Amino acid sequence: MLNQINSIEEYNIAYKASIENPETFWDEIANTFVWRKKFSSVLEWNFTEPKIEWFKDGKLNITDTCIEQHANSTPEKIAIIWEPNDPNENFRTLTYLQLFTQVKKCANVLIKNGICKGDKVCIYMPMVPEAAVAMLACARIGAIHSVVFAGFSAQSLRDRINDSSCKLIITADAVYRGSKLIELKKIVDEALLQCPSIKTCLVLNHRNISTYMKSERDKFWNDEMQNVSDENEAEIMDAESPLFILYTSGSTGKPKGLLHTTAGYMVYTAYTFKNVFNYKPDEIYCCTADIGWITGHSYIIYGPLANGATTLMFEGIPTYPDHGRFWDIIDKHNVNIFYTAPTAIRSLEAFGTDILENKNLSSLRVLGTVGEPINEEAWNWYFENIGKKNCPIVDTWWQTETGGILISPIAHVTKIKPAFATLPLPGIQPVLVDENGNEIIENNVEGNLCIKFPWPGIARSIYGNHERFKSTYFSDYPNMYFTGDGSKRDEDGYYRITGRVDDIIKVSGHRIGTGEVEDAINMHDCVVESAVVGFPHEIKGQGIYAFIICNKETADAEKIKNEIKIHVSNLIGSFAKPEKIQIVTGLPKTRSGKIMRRILRKIADGEKEKFGDISTLLDPNIVEKIISEKK
Ligand code: PRX
């Protein structure tokens, strides 16, 4: 389908062409997809409003490219392999033809339940093939899906449903993650107490546990799927029609719903999937992300399926039933391409290599990482023990906002270097800027990472708040998209992402805004004020460190700390729980009342002396005090 880059010379040619003449470059690539009507212009854009339109006037339905063409040409090819949480249960497969039939039926179920083009549908599902079917069924009828990670609390789910006024929610009775049963429908019921826009709740009976079903509102997935036809005409969509909303944390305020549109996202995820992973037809590809995050959207569902690939969905966790589970899956399904997060690698590395002795990993050809910086030690461990020094690691840098991978080695093409995301993909023009906003031209430098030209997969807006989209990404540096990340660039022009330069922290690759955690902590009765920062964590990359001021002398500090942890889990989700909590008598504030987080970050990191200039603090003595109060 798409041209594939097979050597560094071809990369150089493609990169040059994509910069000198981006429209011709993307026109050629876009032409290899299924269109109902060809586009009239490739790109119209400005980064001031900002307004970005790719493939204007083009008409399509993304399921034509992702499913129907393969259901016609290779109906028996496996689209999805599903590996259950419990390895003793049977795995399942869906061929392209079966997937197509399921998606058409589910599309009819949605229509029957009053969902029309442009309506929003929330998906709060475990990692099961029905989640993929639900997303693709939305796309088929032009409904906009909003997948919410099924580890979020009822409160977080409710906020997301209400922000985009979803009309229908799809969930499951329950799911096992490892040995823990999570009753998803109960969480949904709690959320729906205050979600007036939801008219229908579809419930997949996944674990067969008895479930409360509210009459009129709640319907079983299986009953509904049985009673509809498998004939369905796809809705014809504009290239720029919204495809999905995906909520992610910002440095301030509530999570924002990034809005991605149809054609550009399809072209970009398909192109990057094929190239970054050097995907070959008939290979088995496995990405361990959850569909609740952008990696799941772009590189479990849309990118692989657009290429007619076989994508493996894993329901469980890396340590169940033991810490060899990932390696068992590779062995069992002969996985060729394996894509996971640095946190998972570090946590498995900690168990040692004995468990690898009887695992056959020889099917592997490409390894990937995503979501957070990878340290050299973990990179080397992955390279040597999993890839047996034969598989390149593609350290892929990107974001919810970017839709697809922007900076990454191309497997078997780019010379890899531990912990470096290396070079920009064709079409991507990264720049490093200094503190004055000037572009740094030389190599061997460090700066804030911006992108100065649009690519097809970039988000188009924040749902319901275009002003926030503009101020968050396009206002710090004129005419550039600001990523919020810092990066180094070495003598070869290779990028090494150093991490966020704002108040977002990455805990086990999960993106968490410090403000969100503070808001949750502050709702606890005993708390007057709090400040949250990230601190380096050996396994998780970063952990959450909360400094809190309590409203009364508290005899039982441990009790309060525990309560706060439970409280944050209930309000956001257990992944946002502070690892360390320190009760303090004051916070380092400037005279204008701003908390100097830079100082708190250093304290959390164990620093005792070098705090730089603290003369602007209202009370410079507070720094000493907080250090002495630290246990
Ligand atoms: O800080 C970067 C980090 O993850 C952020 C984006 O998070 P999210 O929107 O949740 O998307 C994660 C999956 C694409 C980035 O701003 N990040 C992502 N990939 C890498 C990374 N940091 C270093 N190296 C990476 N490969």
Rounded distance from Cα 370 to ligand 1 centre (Å): 7
Cα distance between residue 126 and residue 137, in whole Å: 17
Cα distance between residue 618 and residue 593, in whole Å: 8
Q: Which of 147, 395, 506, 507 to mutate to test the pocket of ligand 1 (most atoms within 8 A of CB)?
A: 506
From start to end of 173-326, where are the E strands?
A: 175-177, 180-182, 200-204, 218-220, 237-238, 242-248, 256-261, 284-287, 310-314
Contact between 195 and 185 under an 8 Å Cβ cutoff? The reply is no
Domain map (residue ranges) of the chain: 8-427+463-470, 504-629
Rounded distance from Cα 251 to ligand 1 centre (Å): 14
Residue 114 C-alpha from the chain's centroid = 30
Residue 630's pLDDT band (cuts 50, 70, 90): confident
Which pLDDT score is estimated for 554?
66
More confident residue, 614 or 165: 165
pLDDT in tens, 535-582: 999 999 999 999 999 987 666 889 999 999 999 999 999 999 999 999
Rounded distance from Cα 445 to ligand 1 centre (Å): 20
Tell me the HSE value of 174 on the side-chain side, using a 13 A CA sphere: 14
Rounded distance from Cα 372 to ligand 1 centre (Å): 5
Cα distance between residue 227 and residue 391, in whole Å: 47
Query: Which single residue is written with the structure tokens 């749902």?
Result: 463
Q: Which contiguous run of DSSP H or E holds residue 446?
A: strand 445-451
Cα distance between residue 367 and residue 375, in whole Å: 15
Mean pLDDT, range 338-348, rounded to an integer: 97
Nearest CA to ligand 1 atom 25: 397
Percentage of the chain exceeding pLDDT 70:
99
Residue 2's pLDDT band (cuts 50, 70, 90): low
Nearest CA to ligand 1 atom 11: 399
Give the C-alpha distances (Å, rounded to integers) separating 459 from 245, 331, 349, 462: 10, 37, 35, 8
Nearest CA to ligand 1 atom 6: 399
Average pLDDT over all residues of the chain: 96
Helix, strand, coil fractions of the chain, as percent rounded to 5: 30, 25, 40
Rounded distance from Cα 398 to ligand 1 centre (Å): 5
Q: Residue 452 class from Cβ within 10 Å (0-12 exposed, 13-18 middle, 19+ buried)?
A: middle
Rounded distance from Cα 511 to ligand 1 centre (Å): 8
Q: Check if 8-427+463-470 and 504-629 are the same fold.
A: no
Mean pLDDT, range 480-487, rounded to an integer: 98
Rounded distance from Cα 373 to ligand 1 centre (Å): 8
Residue 499 CA, closest ligand 1 atom number: 1
Which pLDDT score is estimated for 151?
95
Task: Give residue ranges with CB within 6 A of ligand 1.
Answer: 248, 294-295, 370-373, 395-400, 421, 483-485, 497, 499-500, 506, 511
Mean pLDDT, range 435-463, rounded to an integer: 97
**CATH code that applies to domain 504-629:** 3.30.300.30
Which pLDDT score is estimated for 3?
79
Mean pLDDT, range 224-248, rounded to an integer: 98
Top mean-pLDDT range of 179-183, 548-552, 625-629: 179-183
Which pLDDT score is estimated for 187?
98
pLDDT in tens, 189-219: 999 999 999 999 999 999 999 999 999 999 9
Tell me the HSE value of 210 on the side-chain side, using a 13 A CA sphere: 0
More confident residue, 500 or 616: 500
Tell me the HSE value of 554 on the side-chain side, using a 13 A CA sphere: 19
DSSP 8-state symbol, 433 = E
Nearest CA to ligand 1 atom 13: 371
Rounded distance from Cα 506 to ligand 1 centre (Å): 8
CATH homologous superfamily for 8-427+463-470?
Answer: ANL, N-terminal domain (3.40.50.12780)
Nearest CA to ligand 1 atom 21: 372
Residue 248 CA, closest ligand 1 atom number: 9
Bridge-partner residues for 544, per DSSP? 534
Nearest CA to ligand 1 atom 12: 371
Rounded distance from Cα 356 to ligand 1 centre (Å): 29
Contact between 41 and 239 under an 8 Å Cβ cutoff? The reply is no
Does residue 1 have a pLDDT over 80? no
Which pLDDT score is estimated for 330?
98
Mean pLDDT, range 408-414, rounded to an integer: 98
Nearest CA to ligand 1 atom 7: 399
Cα distance between residue 438 and residue 629, in whole Å: 41
Residue 496's pLDDT band (cuts 50, 70, 90): very high
